[in-house]
Amino acid sequence: MSGPVIGVFDSGFGGLTVLRALVERLPQAEFVFLGDTARLPYGSKSQRTIARYAAESARFLVERQGAKSLVIACNTASALALDAIEAAVPVPVIGVIEPGAEAAAGQTKTGDVMVMATEATVASHAYAAACQRRGLHGIEKACPLLVPLVEEGWTDHAVTEQVVRIYLDEMLAEARAAGQQPDALVLGCTHYPLLRPVLERTVPPGVTVIDSAEATAQRVAIAMAGQAESRAAEAAGMPRIRCFATDSVAKFERLGSRFLGRPVGTVELIDLGG
C-alpha cells in the first residue's frame, strides 16, 4: 500500500531542504519532487514568467505524477505564483511564505523581522505583507549573489561569508536608521538553509535565524493529520522519494544530497518545454 503522494516543487534543488523537513515529519508519505533546473533562477525573472513556469511544474506533479497536494518549496514561486498554481491544479497548495512569517512571529520580541530573499521575492513584498498581517514589520533585502554561491557549493567559503556580511550590514544599517531593532532573520530562499552556519556566525547577538522549511513541514503535517490515506500508509515503512529535474541531472544528484541530507538516488530528466 502506498501513502499519500505529496508533490514538492522548487525552481532548483534548494527545495530539498523543505523535503528533508517533510520526510522527518511524514515518514510514511510518498514524495515526488520536481526541480525546474532548466529554468532556474526564478528569482531574477518577471511575475508572468515565474507564474507560467510554476503552473507548468505544478501540472506535471498533479496530472502526470498523481500528487494529491502540493508544497511550493520555493520562496519566489510562493511569493509570485501561488494564485497561478492554485488556478492550475485542483489540489491543496501550501507555500513557504506564510509558515516563515508565522515562525518569525513566534520568535521576535521587538516585532522587527529581517528577510533575505531573491530579487523577485523582495520586489513582491510578500514577506512584508505576511509580517504586517501578524502585526510585525518586515525588512526585506534582495541577496542575488547567494544562490550562485550555494549552487557552486561555496557554502562555507570566505567569499560567501564576506558577501553575507555585506548584505547583513546593509540591511541592519537601513533598519537602525529607521529606528528598528530587528531580532529575527528569515531565510526567504530555499537555498539559504545551507548558509545557516555562516549566517549564524555573522548575525549580531540576539538575532535568531529562522528557516521556513521546518515551519512549512509542520503546517503540511497538520493539514494531513487524520487523513485516512495517511493512517493506512503507516504500514508502508520508509518514505518513497522520486526526484525529477528539467536539466542538470548529474549536478542535482551530486549536490542534492547536501540539501536532502541523504542520497537523492536517480533523478529523472523531464522536458516541460521552454
Residue (106 or 148) nearer to ligand DGL, CB: 148
246 interacts with ligand DGL by CB under 6 A: no
Neighbouring C-beta atoms of residue 211, cutoff 10 Å: 21
Query: In sequence order, what E strands does the chain have?
Result: 5-10, 30-35, 69-72, 93-94, 112-117, 137-142, 184-188, 208-211, 240-245, 267-269
- Give the footprint of ligand DGL on residues 115-134 (CB under 6 A): 118, 121
Cβ 79 to ligand DGL shortest distance, Å:
8
Q: How many residues bind ligand DGL (CB under 6 A)?
A: 17
3-state secondary structure of 153: coil
Kindly tell me which residue out of 76, 108, 155, 202 binds ligand DGL, with binding defined by CB under 6 A. Answer: 76
Residue ranges in 10-69 that form contacts with ligand DGL under rule CB under 6 A? 10-12, 14, 40-43
- Catalytic residue of the set 74, 131, 143, 243: 74
Q: Which three cell numbers stand for residue 94?
A: 501550501
Q: Is 208 helix (H, G, I), strand (E, B) or coil?
A: strand
In 3D space, the residue among 219, 274, 268, 222 whose CA is nearest the CA of residue 245 turns out to be 268
The nearer residue to ligand DGL, 77 or 233, going by C-beta atoms, is: 77
95 binds ligand DGL (CB under 6 A): no
Contact indicator for 127, 188 with CB cutoff of 8 Å:
yes
Stretch that binds ligand DGL, among 71-79, 84-92, 127-135, 179-187 (CB under 6 A): 71-79
Residues sharing a CB contact under 8 Å with residue 128, sequence separation 6 or more, in sequence order:
115, 138, 140
143 labelled catalytic: no
Binding interface with ligand DGL (CB under 6 A):
10-12, 14, 40-43, 74-76, 118, 121, 147, 189-191
- What residues are labeled active site? 74, 189
